[in-house]
Structure 1
């Protein structure tokens, strides 16, 4: 469990689309991650990785994608 004392920004539709379309995350897995990330106030990619829903390589792809969006 990852708990942050700082509120996390809301999840962008682009990130959710990337996770589903590019990484093949199911809607159920994504919904689980969203609920848990909100509960823990933790970044969604970290929660998905900690639950085993993203591999380390996929987690790196998400980080690379987020960097490209800035």
Structure 2
């Protein structure tokens, strides 16, 4: 994912899914240790629901 797409994705998480910047920052730090895709880490740690996870993957497909 390019830098521009990454920025748009993080904005989507904050604005459309109403995730806090702190939750996103925690997931980003966990991604370094868990070596998984960010959407799955957000779900694994309870930051998003399955419905939100579906919306994330829909957004990523269209990006």
TM-score by length of 2: 0.88
Within the candidate set 3, 11, 15, 1:21 is matched to 15
1:28-63 CA-partner distances (Å, limit 9, x unpaired) = 101000000122221111000000100000000000
Equivalent residues in 2 for 1:1-70, closer than 5 Å: 12-69=6-63
Structure 1 stretches of 5 or more lacking a match?
Answer: 1-8
* Count of residues paired in the alignment: 61
Q: Which TM-score applies when normalising by structure 1?
A: 0.80
- For structure 2, the residue ranges without an aligned partner over 5 or more in a row are none
1: distance between equivalents of 2:2 and 2:25?
Answer: 14
C-alpha displacement of 1:14: 1.0
**Normalized per residue, which structure has more helix?**
2
